[in-house]
Structure 1
Amino acid sequence: MGWDECLAELLIQLGDHGLVAMVKMDGERERGRWTVLVSGSPLGGELVRWDGDDLNAGLSRVLAELQERVPGLLD
């Protein structure tokens, strides 16, 4: 499975848990060009955000935090 299919599947799973997710690349920034943002009622009005240059590392960090805060996520 390619990264595009993996990312799409991940976003679908987050949506199935009532989360809203965004992955953004900002070509105008010199550093921290990627943003991953997740919000939604399972987070109690808070959000999980990461900005950086390594999208894979950012997705891993956000998913680790989400798995701590949202029981049953990605089981």
Structure 2
Amino acid sequence: MGWDECLTELLVQLGDHDLVAMVKMDGERERGRWTVLVSGKPLDGEFVRWDGDDLDAGLSLVLTKLQERVPGLLD
């Protein structure tokens, strides 16, 4: 499965758990060009955010944090 298909599937699964997710690339920044932000009902008004240059590492970190807070996510 390609990277684009994996990201699409991940975003669909987050949406299925009433989460809102955003992946952004800011070409005007020299550092921390990627942002991953997830919010929604299961997070009780809080959010999980990561900014950095290694999108794969950032997605892994955000998913780890989400799995701790949202039971059944990605099972």
Per the normalisation by structure 2, the TM-score is: 1.00
Q: Equivalents in 2 of 1:24, 1:2: separation in Å? A: 19
Aligned to 1:17: 17
**Deviation of 1:42 (Å):** 0.3
Aligned to 1:3: 3
What is the Cα-based RMSD across aligned positions, in Å? 0.2
Aligned to 2:67: 67
Q: Percent identity?
A: 87
Give unpaired runs (5+ residues) of structure 2. Answer: none
Q: Equivalents in 2 of 1:4, 1:50: separation in Å? A: 20
4+ runs deviating over 4 angstroms: none
Q: What is the CA deviation profile of residues 12-57 of structure 1, one whole-angstrom value per residue up to 9, with x for unaligned ones?
A: 0000000000000000000000000000010000000000000000
Give unpaired runs (5+ residues) of structure 1. Answer: none
Q: Equivalents in 1 of 2:8, 2:41: separation in Å? A: 21
Per the normalisation by structure 1, the TM-score is: 1.00
